[in-house]
Chain A
Amino acid sequence: MAEVLVLVDHHDGAVRKVTAELLTAAARLGAPSAVVVGKPGTAESLAAELGAFGATKVYAAESDDAANFLITPQVAGLAAAAAAANPAAVLLPATIDGREIAGRLAVRLNSGLLADAVDVESVDGDVVATQSAFGGEYTVRYKVTTGVPIISIRPNAIEATPTAASAQVVPVEITIDPAISATVIADHPEPVGDRPELGAAAVVVSGGRGVGSADKFRVVEELADSLGGAVGASRAAVDSGYYPPQFQVGQTGTTVSPQVYIALGISGAIQHRAGMQTSKTIIAVNKDSEAPIFEIADFGVVGDLFTVAPALTEAVKARKA
């Protein structure tokens, strides 16, 4: 069975959740092989965890420089692993970094790129990826006709299933060309707090212009916390300064697809809907009974979010107690 390469998304010695999702996807297409790009010793330290999600090989593309340069170390690592493995596909997370790594790799390997896939499958020997275009208005299936299919997969789109395998570490040589690399001087992680990441959360509670102020976003946060969910905001709320831009859901922000999406005081402009309408279940609370968000909501409450949301928070807490 041909190998399928998965770029491991890791930070501070921990493997991010999307890696397990990609390994699960890889197992549908062939034998999952993880590619770890990092400082020497990183692959060895992550091998057991990667094996628990089905990786049978771990390519160690290691260099002391790996953390200093942007994007190009990962491109070099995947290119080296692809040369060694002759894989059936290369899978990466559809994050900001993942998309760029995929772009450079596609040129380097002269291979077709399928970006931001929500599903992958093997059909008559071809690797076929499903994309959701225009915020879920269309579902389109693609295949690659040149080179190795390079596929970036949206976090949270595929459910990770643990599959015990023991992973064998295989070193590959990488050379990073400083002339085509940007150098990272300092990294400033945003404090993430206890909430799940917006793009990967099973529950997202978002507030819009109707929330009215930054202080009042507390109502949105309290509901999100009672459900163990992430907090999002509409563009109108972000532009009004109610909530920081990295939490913006929509066409120009993050696209989310959670099990439950709760829209509080959001009218539901196409801009916003494009970023959330593939959510499994949509709940809307808005004062305006004509708000377009109700057209796509599975359950809508016409009312004041400042009475409905706290009541819901209490009801959720009561059920969990």
Chain B
Amino acid sequence: MDIAVLIKQVPDTYSERKLRKQDWTLDRDAADAVIDEIDSRGVETALQLTEAHGGEVTVLTMGPERAAESLRKALAMGAHKAVHVLDDGLAGSDALQTSAALAAAIRTLSVDLVITGNESTDGRTGSVPAMLAERLGLPQVTSVRTLEIDGPALRAERVHDGGYSEVTASLPALISVTEKINEPRYPNFKGIMAAKKKPVSTMGIDDLGLDPSTTGLANAASQVVDGTPRPPRTAGEKVADDGTGGTKVAEFLAAARLI
């Protein structure tokens, strides 16, 4: 089975992240960029499936030049080829526009399964997978923690807010994986060397057949009205426990009418 895996380069959540003051979009230079942790689990899922059932794994990303680093890492893990959706005209895309560009790129491949992370750690919209499924006319099973392929269908355990469900969907389909699905492999030296020779194709607005009057920040379906950095939270009172720490917390909460 042939699989497309979407990956996203995001600011490292362990470093400080900033929004740009001019337009309140993500300042991608302010933080260390890493492949979203959840997406390497998506790559791992795809590799395990193609190892068992045959087929190729294509990794896709949309983002500036340096997003190619994330594609190389996925290729080093074992993905077969990569597609980089790269165009200055796509900068500042919202979820609706991002899903349109990614759907156009996925349509150029012929895949049985599309895999994404269930939520990126920067945007946290969590809706791009559902948007993609809608655009591609596919069933979607998100927040997947276990997955098996059973002939022309998939079976999965899907985590939701109140527990989990057993779910099936016919292929082709889209899934998003949670961090419980697997432990991603680390690229080895051989993989890193091999990745350098694997094909990475670049696609822009024209290649994707997108209408330039619908792309980018200026044409986004949602726009920023204004933004404010949160006033830094300041440390309050700190006491060393001398045996009365618990009582002091209770007094503090009672004084604030919280208990």
B151 at the interface (CB under 8 A from A): no
CB neighbours (8 Å) of A106 from chain B are 95-96, 127, 131, 221
Do A107 and B125 form a contact, CB below 8 Å, given A113-B96, A269-B14? no
Q: Is the CB of A103 within 8 A of B13?
A: no
Q: Is the CB of B248 within 8 A of A183?
A: no
The interface bits of chain B over 138-174 (1 if a CB of A lies within 8 angstroms of the residue's CB, else 0) are: 1111110000000000010011111111111110010
- Choose one: B134, B165, B248; the contact of A186 (CB below 8 Å): B165
Q: Is the CB of A104 within 8 A of B130?
A: yes
B40 at the interface (CB under 8 A from A): no
Q: Is the CB of B246 within 8 A of A311?
A: yes
Interface-facing stretch out of A22-30, A80-88, A165-173, A297-305 = A297-305
A157 at the interface (CB under 8 A from B): no
Q: Is the CB of A307 within 8 A of B243?
A: yes
- Choose one: B166, B222, B226, B229; the contact of A185 (CB below 8 Å): B166
Complex CA–CA separation, A200 to B220 (angstroms):
32
A163 at the interface (CB under 8 A from B): no
Q: Is the CB of B124 within 8 A of A115?
A: yes
Complex CA–CA separation, A189 to B169 (angstroms):
21
Q: Is the CB of A300 within 8 A of B127?
A: no
B233 at the interface (CB under 8 A from A): yes
- Choose one: A103, A111, A299; the contact of B236 (CB below 8 Å): A299
Do A297 and B249 form a contact, CB below 8 Å, given A252-B179, A281-B258? no
- Choose one: B133, B143, B164, B169; the contact of A183 (CB below 8 Å): B169
Question: Interface centre among B15, B220, B245, by most A CB within 10 Å?
Answer: B245
Interface-facing stretch out of A31-39, A51-59, A92-100, A207-215 = A92-100
CB neighbours (8 Å) of B244 from chain A are 311
Q: Is the CB of B134 within 8 A of A103?
A: yes
Specify the chain A residue showing the minimal Cβ separation from B128: A103
The interface bits of chain B over 154-198 (1 if a CB of A lies within 8 angstroms of the residue's CB, else 0) are: 010011111111111110010000011000000000000000000
The interface bits of chain A over 281-315 (1 if a CB of B lies within 8 angstroms of the residue's CB, else 0) are: 11101000100001111111111100111111111
Q: Is the CB of A114 within 8 A of B222?
A: yes
Do A179 and B139 form a contact, CB below 8 Å, given A184-B166, A289-B240? yes
Q: Is the CB of A71 within 8 A of B230?
A: no
CB neighbours (8 Å) of B180 from chain A are 245
CB neighbours (8 Å) of A315 from chain B are 246-247, 249-250
CB neighbours (8 Å) of A10 from chain B are none
Do A188 and B99 form a contact, CB below 8 Å, given A106-B127, A227-B259? no
> What's the minimum C-beta distance from A66 to chain B, rounded to whole angstroms?
15
| Majority secondary structure of chain A interface residues (helix, strand, loop or mixed) | mixed
CB neighbours (8 Å) of A145 from chain B are 220-223
> What's the minimum C-beta distance from B140 to chain A, rounded to whole angstroms?
7
B80 at the interface (CB under 8 A from A): no
- Choose one: B129, B135, B252; the contact of A100 (CB below 8 Å): B129
Complex CA–CA separation, A295 to B161 (angstroms):
31
A64 at the interface (CB under 8 A from B): no
Q: Is the CB of B161 within 8 A of A182?
A: no
Q: Is the CB of B130 within 8 A of A302?
A: no
State which residues 182-207 of A face B: CB under 8 Å. Answer: 182-190, 192, 197, 199
Specify the chain A residue showing the minimal Cβ separation from B37: A252
A112 at the interface (CB under 8 A from B): yes
Do A133 and B134 form a contact, CB below 8 Å, given A185-B168, A199-B161, A300-B236? no
Q: Is the CB of B245 within 8 A of A11?
A: no
CB neighbours (8 Å) of B245 from chain A are 285, 301, 303, 307-308, 311-312
CB neighbours (8 Å) of B127 from chain A are 99-100, 102-103, 106, 113, 115, 152
Complex CA–CA separation, A184 to B127 (angstroms):
20
CB neighbours (8 Å) of B128 from chain A are 103
CB neighbours (8 Å) of A185 from chain B are 155, 165-168
CB neighbours (8 Å) of B13 from chain A are 251-252, 270-271, 274
Specify the chain B residue showing the minimal Cβ separation from A145: B223
Complex CA–CA separation, A137 to B228 (angstroms):
9
Specify the chain B residue showing the minimal Cβ separation from A304: B241
CB neighbours (8 Å) of A122 from chain B are none
Q: Is the CB of B238 within 8 A of A113?
A: no
CB neighbours (8 Å) of B173 from chain A are 182
Known: A70-B167, A137-B229, A300-B237. 11 other contacts (CB 8 A): A103-B129, A110-B96, A113-B125, A142-B223, A180-B138, A199-B161, A251-B13, A251-B121, A277-B233, A296-B233, A315-B246
Q: List 19 A-B contacts (CB under 8 A).
A: A70-B158, A97-B161, A99-B130, A103-B125, A103-B128, A112-B96, A113-B96, A116-B126, A140-B227, A179-B139, A182-B169, A184-B167, A190-B164, A199-B161, A281-B256, A303-B245, A308-B246, A311-B244, A312-B247
Closest 6 CB pairs of A and B: A311-B246, A303-B241, A103-B127, A103-B130, A112-B221, A315-B250
